[in-house]
Amino acid sequence: MELNGIKPAAGAKHAKRRVGRGIGSGLGKTAGRGHKGQKSRAGGFHKVGFEGGQMPLQRRLPKRGFKSHLLKFNAEVTLASLEQLGLAEVDVLALKQAGLVAQIAKVVKVVKSGEITKAVKLTGIGATAGAKAAIEAAGGSVA
């Protein structure tokens, strides 16, 4: 193989459409743009969602809801995952090292999903009322 013998794969390259080059080309006169109107003009286009001056859909619908930018710092842990973890004392750092919560997480809360049988002491971690009752029933504590 030589450098002068290298070619692109068959069908990878194709000739650019040359418009406005006479009747015989099939793309003469209006150059495939049809007759008149905004789309036929040079630079004549509009932004996405433009409805010809009519109030666009995204402005006709009411604004609704709000998503806090602080949500990314919150994380949830289930009782089932605490059971699998198998540690006697659990804090945020232990959960991060186990990969149960994201490294960015600051506030962690235990939710009641699944069962727990081992006694677990939570430090610096919140728990829902149901989760707290289940942890304390298993002989653990929430601090």
User: CA of 55: how far to CAs of 34, 62, 110, 141, in Å?
Assistant: 27, 13, 46, 58
pTM for this one?
0.55
Domains and CATH numbers, the chain: 15-64 (no CATH), 71-142 (3.100.10.10)
Which positions ≥6 away from 75 have C-beta within 8 Å?
Answer: 95, 101, 102, 105, 107, 108, 109
Per-residue model confidence as pLDDT tens for the chain (143 residues): 899 999 999 999 999 999 999 999 999 999 999 999 999 999 988 899 999 899 999 999 999 999 999 999 999 999 999 999 989 999 999 999 999 999 999 999 999 999 999 999 999 999 999 999 999 999 999 98
Selection from 55, 51, 29, 33 nearest residue 42 by Cα: 33
